[in-house]
Amino acid sequence: MPPSKSTATSSDGTRLAIYTYGDSGAPVLVCVHGYPDNATLWEPVAELLADDFQVVTYDVRGAGHSDHPSSTKAYTLDRLQEDFRAVIDQVSPDQPVHVLAHDWGSIQSWHFVTDPAPTAGVSLQDRIASFVSISGPSLDHAGYFIRRRNRATLKQLIHSWYIVYFHLPWLPERGWRKGWAHRAFNRLERQHSHDGRSVADYVNGIKLYRANVLPRLLRPAPRRTDVPVLAVSPDADPFVTTPLQTGVETWAPNLTVKVIRGGHWMPRNDPGLVAGLVRDHTRKVARWET
């Protein structure tokens, strides 16, 4: 069954396209996509989980049918956090939500789940019941990771070559518009299609890197969370190494780590595995809470 559609408006006026699957009486699972995807990434996973959850996906600003702010400053993690708050205020104003995220969706969700500042007496992380993160670290945690200056750090820096590329002026945008960048990146994961992505998804999302990576890596904050986190690391991910996204017990003591076989785009390539991981993790959280 196709999802129902709605919109939410963030604090700066950005409109966000929301898609809802499943029973409105079930626990809410919010899925946050990464770059260069849009909410269609989650369709196969959402269909598998619609009997267990009210599954909510949304197009992150700059992607899909959400608004596309032109300013790079409009893509900071704090702005993305305001978007997430607008979504959950609409879909689950009274109950905490479960979060499933991938790639840049995970990066921003780590920001949400480690939110230290209460708003009207409630921290955002108090509104999150559990978090499943796939192939995406906290940028603040990554800032401490690269300061270790060991072999694992060097390996990750080699894997992160594309971040330097995305900070170049005009060339990354031109590569997406002309098509040669698609071919180069698709070879890394042996993908052969855009899978519902538009050129705008590729081009606008570059602002995520430019607005956040250097400020967070250069001036990381010791952001902590007590939310139960499952960090899923595909062992053949060409972009994110396992040590970067799993060695965070200092900041996330309720952490479970699973290293699984597969590449970066797990939600697209193995939705059944992703759905199973979400079910298992949320059931463990429910037992832990009782």
Domain boundaries, the chain: 4-289
pLDDT tens-digit series, residues 179-233: 878 777 776 665 545 578 899 999 999 999 999 999 999 999 999 999 999 999 9
Classify burial at 106, counting beta carbons within 10 Å of its beta carbon; exposed 0-12, middle 13-18, buried 19 or more: buried
> Domain spanning 4-289: which CATH class is it, in words?
alpha beta
Least confident range of 52-56, 127-131, 192-196: 192-196
pLDDT tens-digit series, residues 217-276: 999 999 999 999 999 999 999 899 899 888 888 899 999 999 999 989 999 999 999 999
